[in-house]
């Protein structure tokens, strides 16, 4: 499959919480049309989504507050349909239509 404009996409929602929304133009929820496959034709997974978000939605120069070494930075939880991504396969989880992916920064204040 080529990266043509007609490449199929997966409709999902992406949420940012716990302060991460500040990195994404202070918007908490995005409707995202995610390319269904990555450059190698493999089904879009969480890794690919994170990469996609950095390329298309990140409005802040401080990308390292979201991603470190191409992985989500420590201290950010990833929730797939409100379940910890560790229950779903982490970065390898293949995105399904209408999935909700939530990125939430863990808090320490009190």
Shortest separation between residue 99's beta carbon and other proteins, angstroms: 15
8 A C-beta contact, residue 103 and residue 16: yes
Is residue 63 a contact residue for other proteins (CB under 8 A)? no
User: Could you give the 3-state DSSP secondary structure of residue 97?
Assistant: coil
* Stretch near other proteins under the rule CB under 8 A, chosen from 3-11, 40-48, 51-59, 73-81: 73-81
Rounded CA gap, 73 and 26, in Å? 19
Q: In sequence order, what are the residues at sequence separation of 6 or more whose Cβ sits closer than 8 angstroms to the Cβ of residue 97?
A: 10, 11, 12
8 A C-beta contact, residue 70 and residue 64: no
Q: Rank residues 29 and 91 by Cβ distance to other proteins and give the closer one.
A: 29
Q: According to CB under 8 A, which residues from 18 to 37 bind other proteins?
A: 18-19, 22, 26, 28-29
User: Could you give the 3-state DSSP secondary structure of residue 20?
Assistant: helix
Choosing from 36, 54, 57, 79, the residue that interacts with other proteins (CB under 8 A) is 79
- Residue-wise DSSP of 79-95: EETTEEGGGTTGGGPBP
Is residue 99 a contact residue for other proteins (CB under 8 A)? no
Q: Rank residues 6 and 82 by Cβ distance to other proteins and give the closer one.
A: 82
State the residues that interact with other proteins by CB under 8 A: 15, 17-19, 22, 26, 28-29, 64-65, 68, 73-77, 79, 82-84, 86-87, 102, 104-110
């Amino acid at each position: 499959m080529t990266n043509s404009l007609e490449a199929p996409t997966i409709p999902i929602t992406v949420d940012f919480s716990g302060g991460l929304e500040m990195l994404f133009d202070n918007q908490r929820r995005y409707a995202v049309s995610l390319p269904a496959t990555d450059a190698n034709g493999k089904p879009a997974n969480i890794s690919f989504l994170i990469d996609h978000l950095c390329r298309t939605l990140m409005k802040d120069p401080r990308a390292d507050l979201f991603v470190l070494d191409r992985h989500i930075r420590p201290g950010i939880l990833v929730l797939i349909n409100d379940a910890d991504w560790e229950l779903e396969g982490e970065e390898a989880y293949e995105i399904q239509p209408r999935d909700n992916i939530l990125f939430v920064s863990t808090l320490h204040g009190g």
